[in-house]
Chain A
Amino acid sequence: MRLHLWFRQVIMLTVYKDIKVIFQALKAGACGYVLKRSDETEILQAIAEVRAGGAPMTSEVARMVVRSFLELPMGQDETGDLSARESEILALLAEGLSNKEIGTRLEISLSTVRTHLMHIYEKLHVRCRTEAAAKYLRSMPKEAIPVTARP
């Protein structure tokens, strides 16, 4: 999804540290990516930085972006066709959350989660959540994989 908004600048303020979501947000037009754990001062600094022409990122996120260029194997991005929402759901699925838990976390209905999962399976050419999670984890830099999802 391209951020065709009337705003001139968009800052993502989010809890998601998923490298796929980060890249999708940036590709969609976001010029900043700040984690919600940032304090008030950091949020104001991010706004000021964008206004000054910068691209503010929480340092942890900036490091992940830099590392991804060094470590992500070329041609192995199997989840690139997913929307931002689908990537969020896939990341939560890979963390081991059930459909109900994903719905609760994202504040969407169970049927919406199922619909997203169907689209994810189609795009990834997989038949079940386990295959989807495996494909997702294979596409991720090691540092970006949640500790709970590592073998």
Chain B
Amino acid sequence: MESTGMTTTIAIVEDNATLRQCLAEFLSSTEGHRCVCTCGSAR
């Protein structure tokens, strides 16, 4: 997670694909947040 000006860019690491997608859609739809990356593992 990184703040750039007024926007917080977010990367999501979540092994559950459904939850990963839900989080990404939720955060991207929220003002001031931008989801730039989603992945199922940090490795």
Contact = CB atoms under 8 A, between A and B. Distances in A.
B15 A7 contact: no
Contacts of A55: none
Contacts of A9: 1-2
Contact of A7 (B2, B26, B33): B2
Interface in B1-43: 1-3, 8, 10-11, 14-16, 19, 23, 26, 30, 33, 42
A22 B8 CA distance: 25
Contact of B8 (A13, A40, A47): A47
Contacts of B16: 107
Interface of A: 3, 5-11, 13, 36, 40, 44, 47, 50-51, 107
B26 to A, nearest CB: 6
Contacts, number: 30
A10 B1 CA distance: 6
A7 B30 contact: no
A50 B10 CA distance: 12
Given A5-B42, A44-B30, A51-B8, 7 more contacts: A9-B1, A10-B1, A13-B23, A44-B33, A47-B10, A50-B1, A51-B1
19 contacts: A5-B42, A7-B2, A7-B11, A8-B1, A8-B2, A8-B3, A9-B1, A10-B1, A13-B14, A13-B23, A40-B26, A44-B30, A44-B33, A47-B1, A47-B33, A50-B1, A51-B1, A51-B3, A51-B8
A10 B10 CA distance: 9
A36 B2 CA distance: 21
Contacts of B10: 47
A57 to B, nearest CB: 16
A103 B24 CA distance: 26
Nearest to A108: B15
